[in-house]
Amino acid sequence: MHPPPAGPGFVLRSLRAGPGFVLRSLRAGPGFVLRSLRAGPATAAFIALALLGAAACSGGEPPAASSSRVQVAAAFYPLAWVAERVGGGNADVIDLTPQGAEPHDVELTSDQVVAVTQADVMFYLGGGFQPAVEELASGMGEGAVDVLGSEGVEFVGEDPHVWLDPLRMLGIVEVVAGRLAALDQGRAAAYKTKAASLTRELEALDADFRAVLGHCEQRELVTSHEAFGYLAESYGLVQVGIAGIDSAAEPSPQRLAEVARFVDEHDVATVFFERLLSPRIAQTIAEETGAATAVLDPLESRPQAGDYTAAMRLNLVALEEGLGCR
Ligand SMILES: [Zn+2]
């Protein structure tokens, strides 16, 4: 496995050192430009050396024997999970969104940039969801794979949360498996088998969501941020988000009042919130209206325990109780 060529012509621009070090523009070969990169603890010299190293290495040295596993970078947890499952023991996967971090507008550290330049492939979700990742991807050519546009994976409006619908994940599984098989043809059959097994797991998850959510007293899904639009659409629910699609956005007092009125008028029993975000806004509405609160995991970073399927099953239990499904 070999890093993609960074090419000659490496230029470092607008570099500010010292505390709060920010790398504004980095050119490493034709078309490869990085802007607004928060560099973290690594020094600029280190990044420069790493990228130059990758460039030098592209001259045709044979790959090291130790790197027989495919090196994969994934922009955030759901993509990392698919790569881990399909890659099995044949891929090393790094997740660019740390556990507990927000993937919307994630910033990359210098170490992560180096790791991505040395990976065989990076999987990401485009469409403006993670601009720093897209900027990095724009200089990687074939080495970066945008899962947006794979079968069933299209945004409705600007909503990026496609991974919260198990069936939309199937297109991502196919794209990841196809690329791993192309990179590592000797193990193509293994990737295909693992992708088929993951597909069955996601189809079973979808069937359970369909069965449980088909019989609920309430169809109004009031959530702290609008992450569950695709899930709601797939299973016949109506999402009412307190904050918008971008979880960083704070709702206005007017919006809080509107949602509280909605909760009252529709006798909504449960207001859902997320662990990553402050539960305050959901609690405010719950207190005002007498509704209960419950947690939904938007799976935007690695769950505290278990994996995607386990977290989705916990979500289903929370929905079943909160919406009165029986
Ligand atoms: Zn989100």
Q: How many CA atoms, within 13 angstroms, populate the side-chain half-sphere of residue 47? A: 30
CATH superfamily of 64-205: Nitrogenase molybdenum iron protein domain (3.40.50.1980)
Identify whether the C-beta of residue 140 lies closer than 8 Å to the C-beta of residue 122: yes
225 Cα–ligand 1 center, Å: 7
129 Cα–ligand 1 center, Å: 9
298 Cα–ligand 1 center, Å: 7
Domain ranges of the chain: 64-205, 214-322
- Answer yes or no: same fold for 64-205 and 214-322: yes
With a CB cutoff of 8 Å and minimum separation 6, the contacts of 27 are 9, 10, 11, 12, 13, 33
Query: According to the CATH classification, is domain 214-322 in 3.40.50.1980?
Result: yes
pLDDT digits (tens, 9 = 90+) for 194-241: 999 999 999 999 999 999 999 999 999 999 888 999 999 999 999 999
d(CA 10, CA 8) in angstroms, rounded, equals 6
96 Cα–ligand 1 center, Å: 16
With a CB cutoff of 8 Å and minimum separation 6, the contacts of 199 are 170, 173
Neighbours of ion ligand 1 (CB under 5 A): 227, 247
pLDDT digits (tens, 9 = 90+) for 18-32: 333 333 334 333 333
Three-class SS state of 56: helix
Identify whether the C-beta of residue 222 lies closer than 8 Å to the C-beta of residue 240: yes
6 Cα–ligand 1 center, Å: 32
Q: What is the pLDDT of residue 156?
A: 93
258 Cα–ligand 1 center, Å: 21
Kindly tell me if the per-residue pLDDT of 16 is higher than 90. no
53 Cα–ligand 1 center, Å: 36
pLDDT-based confidence at residue 34 (cuts at 50, 70, 90): very low
272 Cα–ligand 1 center, Å: 14
d(CA 156, CA 232) in angstroms, rounded, equals 13
